[in-house]
Amino acid sequence: MRVAYCLQSRVDWLVRSNLCFLAFATPLLPPATPLVSDNDSTTPATTIDLTVQLGRLRLANPVLVASGTFGYAREMQAMVDLSRLGGIVPKTITKLPRQGNAPWRTIETPSGMLNSIGLDNDGIDAFIKHHMPYLGSLQTAMVVSVAGRTHDEFVEMTTQLADVDGVDAIELNISCPNVSGGVDFGTDPSMCERLVAACRAAGSHPILAKLTPNVTSISQMAIAAEAGGADAISLINTCQGMAIDWRRRRPLLGNVIGGLSGPAIKPIALRAVYQAAQAVKTPIVGIGGIANLDDVMEFLVAGASAVQLGTVNFYNPTASTTILDALPEAIAEAGATSVDEVVGTLASNP
């Protein structure tokens, strides 16, 4: 059974759209298989090292919250101890203000949701002036997400953020499916490599490249991001999808096509992380359908060094801290003393 808790008047404090809190049914699964380790002894959870190194970016732990699902953090401070998070990726910003796409912008789907927000935001100048003073005061890593219409816009925004206090890293959103040209840099390897290299040269901040799953070869795109000098690769952004009212013969989203997120895309995200981890040495940040501790551990084992929680923030805002409470014990159960010892330990089938 699925239950939707609509936010009514408070919807706008997250995405200025008709988003609802979603709760998804848990499918029937066979009993979980305990994590297997060659180490017979279990490490005390209190001695677990949760720190993560993503290139030049060091995080206190591997649990971040994803862009577009956590507002500008201020909206969530009453529910989440923000200082406990490994990092926050605020809503993506663009060079100029964007009104976003026409409604409907969000649709609930089985085990997920479709969104077509269209990067609604007030532009980089307003972000720096109105949001960064607060975001910069938080005791966690601040990864600013940027999206440009052109190569030069990405570079200009990266340059503009170079001297802004409180910015710890920049995530290049080269994979948004809901704006014209939003995925161009994430589907052409040469454009991706050139853009990442230019943005890295434009400032001193670590660079994360957020890639789209809507490509023939995710490995090829990861190799391009690595060649450009990305400190980390974020995988995945939403998968393209749509919803239809067959009685009216009309699409439900105002933009017709949107991005699918939530538990429905987790298998796709795991596959993408695994394939990319086999192709590159650059750290990977796993994104897509992550909602609980087991999800996090699966992504780590598949090859992700860190994760971002997205859609779950709408229907379970405290999921991140719940996961962090249990993470040390799970690492210990794996016979490891640090997150790094678990990353990429997936065994091949006999």
Distance CA 61, CA 12 (A): 30
Residue tagged active-site, from 20, 176, 192, 199: 176
For 229-286, the DSSP string reads T-SEEEE--PEEEE-EETTTTEESSTTSEEEEESGGGHHHHHHHHHHHHHH--S-EEE
- Smallest Cα–Cα separation from 295: which of 281, 311, 282? 311
CA neighbours within 13 Å on the CB side: how many for 73? Answer: 29
CA neighbours within 13 Å on the CB side: how many for 247? Answer: 0
Distance CA 173, CA 210 (A): 5
Residues ≥6 apart with Cβ < 8 Å to 251: 242, 243, 244, 245, 257
Distance CA 101, CA 178 (A): 8
176 is catalytic: yes
> Assign residue 22 a region: left if phi > 0, alpha if psi is -120 to 50, beta otherwise?
beta
Task: Let me know the angle formed at the C-alpha of 68 by 306 and 211, rounded to the nearest 5 degrees.
Answer: 55
- Please state the three-class secondary structure of 62-95 as a single string: CEEECCCCCCCCHHHCCCCCHHHCCEECCCCECC
> Assign residue 228 a region: left if phi > 0, alpha if psi is -120 to 50, beta otherwise?
alpha
Residues with active-site annotation: 176
